[in-house]
Amino acid sequence: MKILILGAGGMIGRKLTAALLRKGELTGRPIQAMTLADVVETDVPASSVALRAVAADLSAPGVAAELVAERPDIVFHLAAIVSGEAEADFEKGYRINLDGTRELFEAVRREHAASGYQPRLVFTSSVAVFGQPLPPVVPETQVLAPLSSYGTQKAIGELLLADYSRRGFMDGIGIRLPTIVIRPGKPNKAASGFFSGILREPLAGLPATLPVGDEVRHWFASPRRAVEFVLKAAEVDTSGLGVRRTLDMPGLSATVGEAIEALRRAGGEEAVALIQREPDDAVKRIIESWPEAFDPQRALALGFEADASFDEIIRRHLEDEVAGNGKRA
């Protein structure tokens, strides 16, 4: 079993790598080799599995072809720039999030034409593919109508995934990840980054900025649960997906206020007092265009599961990133 992880240097990529090395197999087959690719140098952990790190831009000519030439059995396509950065830098967003995806899919198609190669390809999408107006609970049949460049780029990726799978070039499955909280490390440029910041920083005794009101409701999953989604997508039976190759992942629908109350239970009043309210209309417009809750029937039927509560999300963060020093995925 050969595995290729694109975006291996990101948070989910690092945790996925660690989880795969602990697991040692996928689809019942032992993992023999893994290629960890990202635009930045990726650390290679000690392992009996043959690991190779590649620092390269997926959107650059020839990079995807070189990686796919190894014929990995499973490709995890996690590589992307985040929502806020894609909105701020139009050209970079389309180059990385769209051109890079198309380069990858085309490399797979050409390898398929030459040898019949057909990998399982897991594509991480986003709830940002939807836009207003939306019902309070988004059904499986909701039309894609993104209101951000990032959401548009992910929506196009979903359509390409479905078409290349329909044509038999790959066995693709897309998963629309909820907003991941609590993300470890430093804040990133995602418009949704404050959802993690208002919990992560106060739990560490640091101030955090809240740009929206307590009433804002959103769809969440913990990093641990997100890695479980990605792993399960690599192994699930795709024969029943038909032409609709992308699934809404189960999540926790909660308000900012409910997240803050969970913080209060975990860290006390002193933690909550570290949240500084600084309204930001640009962030608010992006967040309010995204869904608040889903009815992910297909994913639930396939065995995907959500976090139970924000208390559980915070507990997992403390276990994985504080008590465990970030060593557990």
Q: Can you spell out the DSSP letters for 77-132?
A: E-----HHHHHH-HHHHIIIIIIHHHHHHHHHHHHHHHH----EEEEEEEGGG--S
Cα–Cα distance list, 99 to 90, 94, 199, 290 (Å): 13, 6, 34, 24
150 tagged catalytic: yes
**Cβ atoms of 37 and 17 closer than 8 Å:** no
Residues in contact with 62: Cβ distance below 8 Å, sequence separation at least 6, in sequence order: none
**Considering just the CA atoms, what is the radius of gyration of the chain in Å?**
19
Rounded (10°) angle between helices 256-267 and 193-203: 20
From start to end of the chain, where are the E strands? 2-6, 25-26, 29-30, 33-38, 50-55, 74-77, 120-126, 171-177, 179-180, 208-210, 217-221, 246-248, 252-255, 275-277
CA distance 72 to 29: 13
Place of tokens 């629908």: 253
Give strand pairing partners of 29. 26
DSSP for residue 220? E
Catalytic residues: 150
